[in-house]
Amino acid sequence: MHFVVCAKQIPDPETPPSAFKIDPQKNEVIPAQGIAPVLSQFDSIAAEAALRLKEAAGDSKITVISMGAESAQAAIKQVLAMGADEGLLLNDPAFTKGDPHTTAKVLTAAVQKLGDVDAVFCGRQAADWDWGQTGLLMAEGLGWPSAIIAKGVALDGQQLSVERVLEDGYETAQAPLPAVVTVSNEFGEPRYPKLQQIMQAARKTVTTWTAADLGLDAAEVGEAGSRLRLEKLFIPEKEGKVELMEGDTATEKAQALVKALQGAKVL
């Protein structure tokens, strides 16, 4: 079996609010100084899901794919250290500032180029933009069945049995391979890598493919190919106001308070 894990490197979601800055002109997040980007947590859970399937199936291979800049090597190495076999970085200036659609297009092309893939595992969403679309769009592009927001995955012959999180429980779905699965945090904690694996991962070389390698036209990916436009990026301002209720007696103050609350549509 050959499994693919899609891994995205994102700005650290634990960046202290005071250190999180944006450039309103360019509609961009300014990378916080001294705060390194991290692997999206959902993707590390997707990696865990793939690793458990690999252990159950035996004689399998996991390729971890990340679309991103050179720095995304760190995210790839992290999944390699967890136990993935090969790393693949999709790095091209043309890929930047895309939307879920263009990202899925690039990743789909990579999976198609790999050829013998049996299943693709993505996080349920990337923990930075939280679109939650890339996995589904990949399934569309590949023409494969998909099961999203999984809390459990098992191989059942040539079928994939997936437990999907629902609002008030979960359902079990069967999908023929190949398939795309997006994995939710209900799946469980990702493993802590053994030191030997960390060292082996450090020694592995990660292959890089560009748009040309994937046979993609620069116009159909990245910003150029995006169908979504970001209109405005801003940090919502939080303000607290204090209004003291006027009145001579407690009753008057209470009445004023009720009126004010009704005015604010709280009551």
Partner 1 sequence: MTAETPDQQRPVRLIGAWFAPAVGASVLGFYGSFQLQEETGELIRHSFFNDVAPPAAPYLFLAALTGLLVFGFLRHATLWMVGQPTAQSVLREIPHRMRNAVRLGLAQDKVRRDRYAGIMHWCIFSSIIVLTFVTAQVAVHDDFGIEFLKGDYLNFFTFYGDLFGLVGLVGVGMALARRYFSDFHRIRWDERFEDHLIILGLGLVLLTGFIVEALRIAAEPSVFADDAGMLTLTEDAAPFAFISYPIARFIELFEMPGSQVEGAHFVSWWSHVTLSFSWLGLIVFTRLDHIFFAPINAFLLRTDSPGRLSRIPNLEEREIFGVGYIQDFSWKQLFELDACVRCGRCTEVCPANLAGQPLSPMHLIQDLKAHLADVGPAVQRVGHEGGDTRAVSPVAMVGDVIKDETLWACRTCGACVQECPVMIEHVPTIVDMRRYLVMDEARLPATAQGALENLETRGHPWRGTSLERTTWMEGLGDVPLFDGNQDYLYWVGCSGALVERNLPITKAVFKLLRESGASFGVLGQEETCNGDPARRLGNEYLYQILAEQLVMTFKEKNVQRVITNCPHCFNTFKNEYPQFDGHFEVLHHTEFLSGALRDGSLRATHPVGEDVAYHDSCYLGRINGVYDAPRQIVEMVPGANLVEMRRNMSKGLCCGAGGGNMWQEEVGERRVNHVRSEEAVRTGAQQVISNCPFCIQMFEDGVPAVQPEEEGRIRPFDIAELLERAVFGPGGGEAKEPAAAAAVSDGDRET
Interface with partner 1 (CB under 8 A): 12, 14, 16-19, 33-36, 38, 189, 191-196, 198-199
Q: Which is nearer to partner 1, 14 or 231 (CB)?
A: 14
253 vs 244: CA distance, rounded Å: 9
Smallest separation, CB 187 to partner 1 (Å): 14
Among residues 68 and 98, whose Cβ is nearest to partner 1? Answer: 68
Q: How far is the CB of 206 from partner 1 (least distance, A)?
A: 19
Looking at the Cβ atoms of 82 and 180, the one nearer to partner 1 is 82
| Interatomic CA distance for residues 228 and 245, integer angstroms | 47
* Minimum separation from the CB atom of position 185 to partner 1 (A): 13
3-state SS class at 41: helix
The C-alpha angle with vertex 108 and arms to 102 and 109, in degrees rounded to 5, equals: 95
- Joined tokens for residue 209: 């493919």
Nearest approach in angstroms of CB 17 to partner 1 is 6
* Tokens describing residue 69: 């800049």
Residue with tokens 């939710």: 184
Among residues 97 and 191, whose Cβ is nearest to partner 1? 191
| Helix-helix angle 195-203:73-82, to 10 degrees | 140
Pairing of strands 179-183, 21-23: unpaired
Q: Which is nearer to partner 1, 87 or 190 (CB)?
A: 190
CA distance 190 to 48: 5
Q: How far is the CB of 165 from partner 1 (least distance, A)?
A: 20
